[in-house]
Structure 1
Amino acid sequence: MFGADDERIAWAEGYVGLLSTIGIERGIIGPREVPRLWGRHILGSAVVEELIPEKADVVDVGSGGGLPGIPLAIARPDLWVTLVEPMQRRVDFLGEVIAALGVPNVEVLRARADEVSPRGQSDVVVSRAVAPLGKLVGWCLPLARKGGVMLAIKGQGAALEVKENAGLIKRAGGGKAEILMCGESKLTDPVFTVPATVVRIERAR
């Protein structure tokens, strides 16, 4: 993920610092999340890079405090990441984070998913803790190019969500939904104890 690159490690540490200070002050995250920032939030987002091809254009829908988009941009300097977030106070926070860290391959866009333009051009559309899968496919798949994918970071109920929303996935233009585990090779890290569960859906039409 962040490898031995001192600059990328410093960016990740700086991001954790901002989330755990002004992020709490502004209600971006809750104080109870601070002990889990590295393992659950930062590493749990960054490991999804395993599923993203080189030099991909990535859109993070409902980015909130920048998860998973900012960790992905830090871990993968070859990506271009757009953080899509409709709430102004979160947009302001994201802009301050990007400026403070100096990460060059990430930008923030204030918009809802259905307001993003142009549509249908992104290689990968990611999301984390945004909405049920049935809503996500309607928001995310139209932003992906044909043959592109949406990657939804989910929890233990991923399989049930896929089963219950098979019709909505098809109507939104999605192909077969796969449930993949990311980060299993990183479990030797003492703060990263649970792989990320990701629903991967290719835009078929």
Structure 2
Amino acid sequence: MSDDVSRETPSVPAEARRVFASERLSLAERYADLLATEGVVRGLIGPREAPRLWERHLLNSAVLAEAIAEGSSICDIGTGAGLPGLVIAIARPDVRITLVEPLLRRTTFLEEVVANLGLDHVSVVRGRADDLHGRQTFDVVTSRAVAPLERLLGWSMPLVAPEGALVAMKGRSVREEIEAARSFLRTWRCAEPEVLEVGLDVVSPPTTVVRVSWADPSRIGWPLAREGRRRSPRHDRRAARER
């Protein structure tokens, strides 16, 4: 990464010490600095977002770790510049995280950040979520502002392990999204979604999260898995993109 970028480094708020251990806070600061400089230059973060990265992006993402169990394997789909996946990786060295992003300029940035910060528990995959369907599963599949719940189910649930869950950051309209996705929840044989608020003493308003697990872990309701023997992988990927 270049060293001659004109930078406006965002100041670290006191709340950051509540979500980042003292030995991890410097990593979070370095990531914020990279977002505010290289991230802006490369078009990953808007210039107006740079001064408020902590409040609007880093802290909101970091508190998602409250909903993730120790030692979890995590897949962050549509991670963009690493939100929330990279932030969780910085806050939680106990987890293993796979960042999934289709755009080359973003994955290049992510790989550079991972190397710069020495995050050896993070891997970067250039591709779409459905490229991993049938290949890997994870304890937790995260996302932030990727898609409405009905579409998010199709991309995320095939990646969710039997005892795992989709854990997505959502806005205040999450309950309306749940109602709109009722037929999809039945199709995927999901349990009733849980709506959580995390970061109550860190961010205002708190971060809203929806958690979706399997209704019966022994009877996973993945439509593509049930029909997989009659379909080619190429057909499956095309169908997933069209949902």
TM-score (norm 2): 0.78
Residues 1:171 and 2:187 are matched in the alignment: yes
1:46 aligns with: 62
2:52 to 15, 20, 36: 36
1:10 aligns with: 26
Instruction: Report how far residue 119 of structure 1 moved.
Output: 3.9
Distance 1:13 1:174 in 2: 38
Q: RMSD value over aligned CA atoms?
A: 1.3
2:75 to 36, 54, 59: 59
Structure 2 portions without partners, runs of 5+: 1-18, 221-243
Q: Superposition pairs for residues 147-162 of structure 1, below 5 Å? A: 147-162=163-178
1:136 aligns with: 152
Question: Could you say which structure has the larger radius of gyration?
Answer: 2
Distance 2:40 2:186 in 1: 39
Identity %, equivalent residues: 46
Distance 1:166 1:101 in 2: 41
Distance 1:193 1:100 in 2: 31
Query: Is contact 2:163-2:214 (8 Å) kept?
Result: yes
Higher mean C-alpha displacement, 30-39 vs 14-23? 30-39
Higher mean C-alpha displacement, 171-180 vs 90-99? 171-180
Distance 2:119 2:189 in 1: 34
Structure 1 portions without partners, runs of 5+: 187-191
Instruction: Report how far residue 193 of structure 1 moved.
Output: 2.3
Instruction: Report how far residue 163 of structure 1 moved.
Output: 1.0
Residues 1:108 and 2:119 are matched in the alignment: no
Distance 1:86 1:53 in 2: 27
2:211 to 192, 200, 203: 200
Distance 2:60 2:132 in 1: 26
Distance 2:33 2:127 in 1: 26
Determine which structure has the larger strand proportion and give its number: 1
Distance 1:168 1:36 in 2: 36
Q: Secondary structure of 1:184's partner?
A: coil
Distance 1:170 1:182 in 2: 27
Distance 2:136 2:122 in 1: 19
2:10 aligns with: none
Distance 1:181 1:4 in 2: 25
Distance 2:91 2:97 in 1: 11
> How many pairs are equivalent?
198
RCO comparison, higher one (Cα < 8 Å, 6+): 1
Distance 1:176 1:111 in 2: 30
